[in-house]
Amino acid sequence: MKSESPLGKVATSLAQKQLEKFGETTKGVTSAVLLTSDGFEVAALKLDKESASKLAAMGSSLAAIGSAIAKEASLKECSRLIVESEQGVVAVMEVPNVSPPMSLAVVANDASILGQLLWAAKNCCLSLEKQLKK
């Protein structure tokens, strides 16, 4: 779902560049999308518009499910959700302290090392926070 980015052109461009840097420096990343909590694509890496929109919508749903599970388990909050398979992993994590609330959804193949992927994704989110914080 992408009509128009909820961020301005400059912030959207900064987010896009940050995703490209993340993809270039992180082993196994096949795609990623920065998304709003209501499922809209802000920036995407290695995805056509339709695929980016679908991943943004699904990433938003996964983030909501993670939050609901954390709440039900009496945990403070869900900061990331990981879906693993034999072929790779999908990780969805929040970008802290930005408005509107956003998450990063990352798809990586089996060449990725989960710990390194999560560390790099967290650093990407922190960089996005610094660049997009209002």
Query: Residue 95 maps to which CATH number?
Result: 3.30.450.30
Residue 124 inside a domain? The answer is yes
The verdict on residue 2 lying in a domain is no
Q: Does residue 87 fall inside a structural domain? A: yes
In a domain, 4, yes or no: no
Q: DSSP alpha helices (H): ranges in 1-134? A: 9-25, 49-72, 114-132
pTM above threshold 0.85: yes
Which region among 7-11, 65-69, 104-108 has the lowest average model confidence (pLDDT)?
Answer: 7-11
Between 1 and 80, residue with greater pLDDT: 80
Asked if residue 3 belongs to a domain, the reply is no
CB of 66 closer than 8 Å to CB of 92: yes
> Is residue 62 situated within a structural domain?
yes
Q: Name the residue range of residue 42's domain.
A: 9-132
Looking at the 3D structure of the chain, how many domains does it have? Answer: 1
Examine residue 1 and state whether it is found in any structural domain, yes or no.
no
pLDDT digits (tens, 9 = 90+) for 82-104: 999 999 999 999 999 999 999 99
